Amino acid sequence: MLLAIDVGNSNIVLGVFEGERLTESWRLVTMRERTADELGILITHLFERSRIDLARVDGIILSSVVPPLTGTMEEMCERYFEKRPLTVDPANTGMPVLYHPPTDVGADRVVNGVAAYETFGRATSMPVIVVDFGTATTFDAISKAGEYLGGVICPGIGISADALFQRAARLPRVDVRKPPSVIGQTTVTSMQSGLFFGYVSLVDGIVARMRAELEDGDRALCVATGGMADVLAGETTAIQRVEKDLTLQGLRMIWARKRSS
């Protein structure tokens, strides 16, 4: 049994795998001030509620883009699971990273690239584009040879919504959802239209430009993941697949590769 942990800026996502099957997953709010004991109590309680014996976990893999929590999470694993996790960085995923410098790219972005390429690109030697709707909206390009080429970083849709509320005195805070029409007839629906359809157009525009720069870009498969992927994907012309557990699957693949070697 493998425990995969992805520490993001907004959420900590945990998944338990038996072989290739994801049997359970949980999502915690990322709080940088949490201690190893606080995390340990939370996570072991989740295991208890799902009736999973901690002793069955024989491996842990960790990806983190929150440096203050990386060491804390490693300490939690050693204290509560009695195992040292494999902490992923761009250099140990098994995927060549052509970013400059390679250490600057977020580990989760390369992990997503591994999962997308192994699932969709390798068998057909097809490039892959990954769109991750997280705290930031990121676009990542994987070559048909399985190299991480780089990508695009944009403010996340939640950040944009918060910025409108905070910087414009007369605009309210709104939930991001699809409005009834593009032309809003209230302030709220006008804001929702700008956020929702603005990001739909952002995705279609950036993916089109990435395809134009990629070798065999017209064949590139576009995969989406992250919190807003299900909501936005159906309105775009660019996104062809939605994989909500892409990062966890990538961590599992990296673990299996490391274990076999």
At 143-199, the pLDDT tens digits run 999 999 999 999 999 999 999 888 888 888 898 889 999 999 999 999 999 999 999
Q: Which is the catalytic residue, given 53, 58, 89, 108? A: 108
pLDDT range class, residue 260, cuts 50, 70, 90? confident
Would you call 169 helix, strand, or coil by DSSP?
A: coil
DSSP assignment letter at 120:
I
Residue 207: the pLDDT is 98
Residue 247: pLDDT band with limits 50, 70, 90: very high
Q: Is 91 helix (H, G, I), strand (E, B) or coil?
A: coil
pLDDT higher than 90, residue 46: yes
Q: Which residues are bridge partners to 15 per DSSP?
A: 4, 25
Return the bridge partners of 226, or none.
Answer: 133
**Share of residues in the chain with pLDDT > 70 (%):** 100
Q: Which residues contact 186 (CB under 8 A, 6 or more apart)?
A: none
State pTM to two decimals. 0.93
Confidence at residue 200, expressed as pLDDT on a 0 to 100 scale: 96
What percent of the chain lies above the pLDDT cut of 90? Answer: 90
Cα–Cα dist 156/169, whole Å: 21
Instruction: Please check whether residue 60 is in contact with residue 6, taking contact to mean a CB–CB distance below 8 angstroms.
Output: no
pLDDT at residue number 228: 87
Give pLDDT, residue 261: 76
Mean pLDDT for 219-245 is 94
Work out the average pLDDT over 204-229.
96
The torsion angle over the Cα atoms of residues 21, 250, 27 and 151, rounded to 10 degrees, is: -150
* Cβ contact 62:85 at 8 Å: yes
Query: What is the average pLDDT across 217-235?
Result: 93
Supply the CATH classification number for the domain 102-251: 3.30.420.40
Q: Give the pLDDT of residue 129.
A: 98
pLDDT of residue 195: 94
Give tens-digit pLDDT for 64-114: 999 999 999 999 999 999 999 999 999 999 999 999 999 999 999 999 999
Determine whether 108 is an active site residue. Answer: yes
pLDDT at 33: 95
Q: Cα–Cα distance between 151 and 172 in angstroms, integer?
A: 33
Which token pair is 168?
Answer: 């414009």
Tokens representing 199? 């990001």
Query: For residue 205, is pLDDT > 90?
Result: yes
Tokens 């990322």 belong to: 30
Q: pLDDT value at position 170? A: 85
Q: Which CATH superfamily is domain 2-87 in?
A: ATPase, nucleotide binding domain (3.30.420.40)
Q: Give the pLDDT score at 165.
A: 87
Ordered by start, the domain boundaries in the chain are: 2-87, 102-251
CB-facing half-sphere around the CA of 169: CA atoms within 13 A: 0
Identical fold for domains 2-87 and 102-251, yes or no, is: yes
